[in-house]
Amino acid sequence: MLTIEELLFRSVAACVRELWGAECESGMIQLQKTKREFEGDITLVVFPLLRLSHRPPEQTADAVGRWIAERHPEITAYNVIKGFLNMVIHDAYYVRMLNAAATDHDFGHRHPETGSDPCLVEYSSPNTNKPLHLGHIRNNLLGYAISNILMANGIRVVKTNLVNDRGIHICKSMLAWQRWGNGETPSSSGKKGDHLVGDYYVRFEREYRQQVEQLVQAGQRQEEAEKNAPLMLEAQELLRRWEAGDTEVIALWKMMNGWVYEGFDETYRRLGVDFDIVYYESDTYLHGRDAVMEGLAKGVFKRHDDGSVWVDLREEGLDEKVLLRSDGTSVYITQDIGTAMLRHRRFHPSRMIYVVGNEQNYHFRVLALVLGRLGFPWAASLHHLSYGMVELPEGRMKSREGTVVDADDLMDEMTETARTMSLELGKLEGLDETEKEDIYRVIGLGALKYYILKVDPVKNMTFNPSESIDFDGNTGTFIQYTHARIRSVFRKAEELGITVPREVPDRAPLNGKEREIIKLILDFPAVLRDAADTCNPSLLANYSYQLVKEYNQFYHDHSILREENKDIRSLRLVMSSTVGRVVKDAMNLLGIEMPDRM
RNA sequence: GGUUCCGUAGCUCAGUUGGAUAGAGCAACAGCCUUCUAAGCUGUGGGUCGGGAGUUCGAAUCUCCCCGGAAUCACCA
């Protein structure tokens, strides 16, 4: 079905051709929603057309308005204010479009093209030496949400996680555990595996700092002391033995990483995110080396006298960047080169999206350029979905100062707060305990997820642990609450024996509020597309709030089930159920569950 | 110092391709529960869109310069 925008677009072009004998160039026909304070639904901005009409704005707008109104019964009236032509659209059009949305189970969604290449999304990518924190939550929510949004747009998605399971950081935890652990395990201590390992990492850092301090007091320079501290030397020795395949070290590494994975799995499960494929750096870190050596042979990279291999990106405005160490071992980016190649060989992705914090903007520019230098045409398909840091009121989270907001703790607190508030309101009486607990969980997590996802990813955001997350106002809770009330209307309708039509059978006139809401519903497909095109889930979050806010005002003024509203009930019921469905759909794409009651 | 990003109400954030008088929530104050769930609704107050110049019929939005903040520029990951 032709939307009214498409119809008007063509109509304006035809009008200009007929009246002034000119063709519209792209961008000249600007249609937008009419501002609330003016009468009308769609507005044509006529300024760009003045070049063709050679008339003042008002005359141009009036001429176009008259031409269109004479030919299209959908336009019932128009008015001109300065260079703006506001057109009023017939109620029947909106009722028809509402019905189309109401009866389309995949409203706004597109079906995947068969045989098309997938989009690969990498997110989470944790280190295995400490538990997940608030920054990881932003990462995971963004990655999971954008994957869902792409899928809703008919794109096949492969969700991947690249676990950084090797390196000096995990050796530090291992060393501390060997020293001070006394064989402690998750089951012996009752601690979650990732937290247990994280505690030993913290222990290492604490002891290490003491050693450094002692060396400095004994007369060494800070940098010297940091290199010479016995604990650091031991950790490095452990890394060497790991790389040499020492069975004892490998066994310890496997055991402790196993604990961490159990812990991560639980956190992921609670957070509601998942992956199709998990890559481990210990498997992939060697693969990039061959590619770098090939590039060296082709002359796109250079070897320095000490044997290290470099890429010179000064022409692109960047610096020289090391790709292989002088001892031949790989660095961080080497591993990413290898991983990208492995993935490309296996999936032929049309796009590779990396959800990684903005502190790695430089890294991903380099990665794309290096892959380009190596001659891979798909280097251009890399997309870094960069997001800002989550900061605390006093600044950045610092593990040294114990200001890291732990993911598990935060989810616990959110659920707990939801429980307390729910009990105060006392609306869940009559439900059994497991149902109640599930609703507390859904509300607590919904508030957290929405709070994070409503912010534009590119921006740093502030998280105030004591007062940030409200359950009032522009929150996930409010959206869930409105949904729960809509569901309640339908439960009541059933009790009252009111039949709910699938679509609006009559041609009831619309009031202003109803039009606003229907227009918002009809925006959903475009918002969903924009969110995918710009890799920005916050568009969906803010859209959901806007829709629900509008609906909630309507809800108060327009009783749906009252007997005196019988004749307009069908419209209101169809509208309500469609709002409920769209909002639930949008929120689910963000990973936010929608309770039927709360 | 170089590069990139951010700067909108006291606070947290929206703001569509450049479009009309820049919007929400929190906080403050005043109302609304015989009425489909008050986690809600209605109203009041609150702005040099960091500053300046430019482009344009029109700039929070695009360009340049400055100010403030963040990240990064490692043989760390």
pLDDT tens, A341-388?
Answer: 999 999 999 999 999 999 999 999 999 999 999 999 999 999 999 999
A21 touches strand B (CB under 7 A): no
A436 touches strand B (CB under 7 A): no
Quickly state the pLDDT bin for A595 (edges 50, 70, 90): very high
What pLDDT does A551 receive?
A: 96
Q: Please report, rounded to a whole number, the percentage of residues in chain A having pLDDT higher than 70.
A: 99
What pLDDT does A222 receive?
A: 84
Which phi and psi angles does A166 have, rounded to 5°?
A: -135, 160
For residue A249, count other CB atoms closer than 10 A to its CB: 20
Lowest-confidence pick of A3-7, A225-229, A249-253, A401-405: A401-405
pLDDT digits over A486-536, tens only? 999 999 999 999 988 899 986 778 888 899 999 999 999 999 999 999 999
CA A594 → C1' B40, Å? 18
A223 touches strand B (CB under 7 A): no
What pLDDT does A75 receive?
A: 94
Contacts of A466 (CB under 8 A, 6+ apart): none
* Bridge partner residues of A312 (DSSP): A320
Report residues 535-574 of A contacting strand B, contact meaning Cβ closer than 7 Å.
538-539, 542, 545, 549, 552-553, 555-556, 558-562
ipTM of this model? 0.96
Nucleotide closest in space to A462 (CA vs C1'): B12
Alpha carbon distance, N-terminus to C-terminus of chain A: 38
Tell whether the model's pLDDT for residue A465 goes beyond 80.
no
What pLDDT does A129 receive?
A: 93
Sequence letter at residue A22: A
Q: What is the DSSP letter of A563?
A: G
Q: How far apart are CA A55 and CA A59, in angstroms?
A: 6
Nucleotide closest in space to A463 (CA vs C1'): B12
Tell whether the model's pLDDT for residue A466 goes beyond 80.
no
Tell whether the model's pLDDT for residue A590 goes beyond 70.
yes
Is there a contact between A263 and A192 (Cβ–Cβ < 8 Å)? Answer: yes
A399 touches strand B (CB under 7 A): no
Q: How far apart are CA A248 and CA A499, in angstroms?
A: 70
CA A429 → C1' B34, Å? 22
What pLDDT does A365 receive?
A: 94
What pLDDT does A221 receive?
A: 86
Burial A569-585 (b: 16+ CB within 10 A, else e): bbbbbbbbbbbbbbbbb
Tell whether the model's pLDDT for residue A543 goes beyond 90.
yes
CA A173 → C1' B33, Å? 58
Quickly state the pLDDT bin for A1 (edges 50, 70, 90): low
Smallest CA-to-CA distance from A260 within A139, A406, A410, A131 is with A131
Q: How far apart are CA A385 and CA A529, in angstroms?
A: 17
Report residues 475-534 of A contacting strand B, contact meaning Cβ closer than 7 Å.
475, 477-478, 481, 484-485, 487-489, 492
Distance of CA A19 to the CA centre of its chain: 48
A84 touches strand B (CB under 7 A): yes
CA A593 → C1' B60, Å? 34
Tell whether the model's pLDDT for residue A548 goes beyond 80.
yes
Q: How far apart are CA A276 and CA A157, in angstroms?
A: 9
Average pLDDT of chain A is 93
CA A480 → C1' B25, Å? 16
Chain B bases under 7 Å from protein CB? 2-7, 11-17, 19-21, 24-27, 35-42, 57-58, 70-77
Smallest CA-to-CA distance from A480 within A454, A435, A443 is with A443
CA A541 → C1' B52, Å? 36
Q: DSSP per residue over A252-266, as a string?
A: HHHHHHHHHHHHHHH
